[in-house]
Structure 1
Amino acid sequence: MLNKPINTGQLSFLQPGLKEQLSNKHPLYLLADQINWSLFEESFRKHYKEDFGRPAKPIRLMVALLMLKHIRNLSDESVVEQWSENAYYQYFSGGQTFTAKEPCEASELVHFRNRIGAAGIELILKESIRINGKDGKEDRASIDTTVQEKNITYPTDSKLHRKIIKKCVSIAQKEGIVLRQSYSRTLKKLGIDQRFRNHPKNGAKARKADKKVKTIAGRLVRELQRKLPAESFSDELDLFQRVLRQKRQDSNKIYSLHEPDVVCISKGKEHKKYEFGSKVSITVTQNSGVIIGALNIPGNDYDGHTLDAALEQQQRLTGHTLKEAFVDRGYRGRKEVHGTLIHTPKTFSSKLTSYRKNKLKEGFSNRAGIEPKIGHLKADHRLSRNFYKGIKGDTINVMLAAAAMNFKRMMNIWKDNLLALIFRLIQIFTASATRPNYSSVIVY
């Protein structure tokens, strides 16, 4: 059930509210007044039942917490904790007076993200593009793909087999099944043999221990299949069997038991040969640097095949069709997609005019600017490691990161404009103070 709307009138004659207490030049203060909060309240109202259940937290509060989390690069727990300490966070969330307690439990942010889904997060991204005004409607853009890594350990077969054993023992304890053997002491000895496998004398011993651990995992899975009811834990046991069957050169391998949709992607990096997560496509305007598209691509598709979905999302978010898009050589083979010309670096035709060659050179030079944009998305807005669950979490994380970077761009512009104004006033004041006063000079 939705909560009652907050009374925004004057609360007290003696104690002013946050609007009067805080500086109206602060970037968060300015951003709070620019966002169309009623858009979210009207769009997300359908996810709540009328006059049923406990009153929910205000929609503006929950949306603001999601924005602040990715703008400030915080976890769910940290943003809730810092909200109770920061008056600007509270004003940004629609608060009228300072409240020295946490607004909600951190887990409520998880429920809210699942409630509004990817469509609701896309609405936040669309609003972040609108905040940037005409800068988000340029005719030329750069498109590139990157990998958002999932929050999993580096996968090895031995790790997966040990996790299968641990989960099988847990299922047996939960269902009251007595296993023929728990293998706890055996696994401890095998763990000692698996250490220091890179030493020349320990390689054979480690490989033999790996094979034994896999054998034990298979025994426990088959024992549970015999003793459990037919439909009980069938999905988990099928997943375990799939992991035990997979070979080194197989495609569509399982790299994590709790995130089976993770794929292995190689982007040709010297320092990181393989990345485990999902591929995302980023679309950035060439001159202003506004992110006008951020899309998660399940699987490991060829980059050229991601252009259709990426440009569809861009047109849906901006209501504008790009004339030209500049990409790298990973997109070879695509010339035009949804009315947008796709330019890939190549040798220029002799039929092109000098003017056209210079424009294309400028476009490819500007295209390189998307690389630091992706770097800031990863370093500052939580794209480097995705902690959200499943493919849905992949989609939500990349769009929230892009929206946060668009909001941060406008906050930086307002901050720079304020500093420039202050610097100009200081110059004027200094010049007037050092100017000689000729009115006091006596003329003889």
Structure 2
Amino acid sequence: MYKKTSPQLTIDDFILPFSGKLSADNRWVKLAGIIPWDELEKQYAFMFPSDRGNVAKPVRMALGSLLIQARCDYSDRETVQQITENPYLQYFIGLKEYQLTKPFTPVALVKFRKRFNAKRMAEINELILQAEKAQKKTQKDQDDDHDDRDANGSGGGGPAREGYAVVIEEPASTQNSESNQGTLILDATCTPADIKYPTDLGLLNEARENLDIMIDCLHEGIGKPTRRPRTHREKARKDYLTLSKQRSPRKHQIRKAVKKQLQYVKRNLGFVDQLLQKAKEQNVENVLRPRQVTLLGAIRELYAQQSAMYKNRTHRIQDRIVSLHQPHVRPIVRGKAKASVEFGAKVAISLDNGYSRIEKLSWDSYNEAETLRGAVERYKERHGHYPEAVLADRIYRNRENLAFCKQRGIRLSGPRLGRPLANGLLKKAEKRMERLDARQRNAVEGKFGEGKRKYGLACIMARLKETAECMISMQFLVMNLEHKLRVLFVQFWLRMMAGTFKPSFC
């Protein structure tokens, strides 16, 4: 059940104790003003078609609390605590007056993240960016009207300054092509999950320990009809520590230890199946908790994969499990200097006028060159024309993408195919263009650095697949909102310098 809140809260409607008043210059007040809450509420209400049950929290409270958490990198408990103590945060999530009680529990944030999946977050991001585009168009029309008044003699010195401001505000685009305008930057990165570095021996030992706990639960759940099965947990633990404490064990020692752990896991799985069969015969239900049932399925898959790799003497297998509690996480080979392999989701983004959009988010490794054609077509849907240039690294320069860009008159950054140019001047110009493209492409690298250093992209703390995707999408939405605030600040001072805006205190 959902109840719409109309009209949306403004800064003058918020009630503070002791007859106080919120400052309009606060960052949370400005951020609340640039988010189209009414449009978001129309889409959010469709998630609750029933008119029965408890009333769901408003979209401003649900999405606003997630934005606060992503912006400040808080935990669930810390987010609730900060909202309880800060009146500006309470205004941002839509409360009408300051209250001392908690607006919701930390558990509610998990439910909020489940409601905003990756697809819905992409729609929200696009809705906010389209609202910014419409606002820029309105501002441009107002500036044109001001230029017309200055041309008729109503002001002096305005047109030159205003012309300079328009050049700064508009996205950089060249006028060489009549149909293609603008620049699209593409790149991909990995958002590491919060897991321990996986090893075959460590994963098998963790599986064996969890199976021992399940055997205890099953044996007690069916009433201890016989003696508990002997799993030799102390001996298995000792075998694991014997190798794990060695600084640099040899390959044959690792293989021997893995074989022992495989045997322990196989035996424990057999005992679990026997106890589950006895529980079924005695009509005993819910002996294992839902999390243990999910974990048991991951352990079975892990044992099958490790057995196949042991028999085939290989370390590669399809859909390899690297975490029992997060079986959706996959190894992503990146070839970076810090770590050649990262474990998490691979995200391909596009950068357009400083705003980032997620083109593809997947937990399985993929070739990011596949996202170029879709990103270019979506660029045309937004702007009505293709970009003049697509800036990307060399992995995007395959034959299919080169033919696609050539057919549409798009310049794809990077060295040209074929023999090097014989003309020295043309060769110099090509090198200069490559350096210029590399400088402009640094913007997307800076976006990744901003997300991983300032926000939470460097370590995704969520365990569930859908909540992790929500957190990743939320980080890019927050970065777009922060960029929008900076753009509005620059536009404000440019208008002040041009004389087209007078503050209220004048």
TM-score of the aligned structures, taking structure 2 as reference length = 0.72
Give the Å deviation of 1:280: 0.7
Residue 225 in 1 paired to residue 287 in 2?
no
- Residue of 336, 358, 365 corresponding to 1:300: 365
Letter in 2 for 1:183: H
Counterpart of 2:306? 244
Residue in 2 that maps onto 1:442: none
Shift of 1:78: 1.9
Identity of aligned residues (%): 21
Deviation at 1:28, TM superposition (A): 1.7
1:331 maps to 396
- Counterpart residue number, 2:215: 172
Write the letter of the residue equivalent to 2:211. Answer: C
Superposition pairs for residues 401-420 of structure 1, below 5 Å? 401-414=475-488
Shift in CA distance, 250/267, structure 1 to aligned 2, threshold 3 Å: closer
Report 1:121-160 matches (<5 A): 121-130=121-130, 132-133=132-133, 139-160=182-203
What residue in structure 1 maps to residue 68 of structure 2?
68
Partners of 2:79 and 2:215 lie apart in 1 by 39
Counterpart amino acid of 1:400?
Answer: M
Deviation larger for 246-255 or 36-45: 246-255
Corresponding position of 2:444: 370
Aligned to 1:346: 415
**What residue in structure 1 maps to residue 246 of structure 2?**
197
Where 1:120 maps in the other structure, the secondary structure is helix
Structural mapping, 1:374-413, within 5 Å: 374-413=448-487
Structure 1 position 84 matched with structure 2 position 76: no
* CA distance, structure 2, for counterparts of residue 223 and residue 62 of structure 1: 45
Pair 1:354–1:159, CA change in 2 (3 A): closer
Alignment of 1:271-290 (within 5 A): 271-285=338-352, 288-290=353-355
Alignment check: 8 A CA contact 2:215 2:275 kept: no
Q: Report how far residue 401 of structure 1 moved.
A: 1.0
| SS of aligned partner of 1:47 | coil
Deviation for aligned residue 1:318: 7.1
What residue ranges of structure 2 are gaps of 5+ in the alignment? Answer: 137-169, 174-181, 281-287, 498-506
Cα 1:365–1:422 shift into 2, 3 Å:
closer
Is residue 258 of structure 1 aligned with residue 301 of structure 2? no
In structure 2, give the amino acid aligned to 1:169: D
The 1:42–1:368 alpha-carbon spacing in structure 2 relative to 1, beyond 3 Å, is same
Q: 1:8: Cα distance to partner?
A: 6.8
Alignment pair present for 1:100 and 2:137: no
Structure 1: give runs of 5+ residues left out of the alignment: 424-444
Shift of 1:180: 2.1
Query: SS of 1:141's equivalent?
Result: strand
1:427 maps to none
Aligned residue type for 2:56:
A
Deviation track 1:40-84 (CA, whole Å, cap 9, x = no partner) reads 111011111443111221221111111122122222222221111
Residues 12, 129 of structure 1: CA spacing in aligned structure 2 closer, same or farther, 3 A cutoff?
Answer: closer
* C-alpha displacement of 1:163: 1.7
Q: Structure 1 residues 360 and 189, CA, compared in 2 at 3 Å: closer, same or farther?
A: closer
> 2:481 & 2:18 partners in 1: Cα distance?
22
CA RMSD, 1 decimal: 3.9
CA distance in 2, matches of 1:12, 1:141: 41
Residue of structure 2 equivalent to 1:109: 109
- Structure 2 vs 1, CA of residues 132 and 273 (structure 1 numbering), >3 Å: closer, same or farther? same
Residue identity in the other structure for 2:259:
K
Tell me the CA shift for residue 125 of structure 1.
1.5
- Structure 1 counterpart of 2:28, one-letter code: L
Name the SS for the 1:395 alignment partner: helix
TM-score normalised by structure 1 residue count = 0.81
Alpha-carbon distance in 2 for matches of 1:64, 1:137: 32
Go from structure 1 to structure 2 and tell me whether the alpha carbon gap of 1:320 and 1:378 turns closer, same or farther (over 3 Å shift): farther
